[in-house]
Amino acid sequence: MGVRRTAKGVGDFLSGTVGDAVAEVILSLLACGLLAGLALIGYLNWHSSPRLTIAGVGLLSLFLAHGAWQTFRTPAKGRRRGLAVLTTAGFTLIAMTAVFLLLYATGCGCL
């Protein structure tokens, strides 16, 4: 009875450990692919038009700054509408992507 329970416990531990390792590899590969894709987009945009790339980055920065401001300020009426919802969602998505890349892309050899 004790041997079977021990063997089952060891098997559960090994399957959990292997599953965690596989998930870590998949997330790292996904992060490296995302980082490479973002770098390629930046390179291709800069190669086609540096002025337009700088203008686009400026507009994106304003968009994200407005989203951060809407996210971290205390709302007067407790309601967000229109542009505020869009910029808050964009800021949240970009922030989550940045945290994901910070956690998983630091281990890839492309940096």
pLDDT digits (tens, 9 = 90+) for 35-64: 888 889 989 999 999 999 999 999 999 999
Comparing 76 with 34, which gets the higher pLDDT? 34
User: What is the number of structural domains in the chain?
Assistant: 1
Is 20's pLDDT higher than 60?
yes
* 35 in Cβ contact with 101 (< 8 Å): yes
- Check residue 78 and give its pLDDT: 62
Structural domain harbouring 44: 2-107
- Check residue 76 and give its pLDDT: 67
SS3 call for 104: helix
**Which ranges of the chain would DSSP assign to H, the alpha helix?**
2-48, 50-72, 83-104
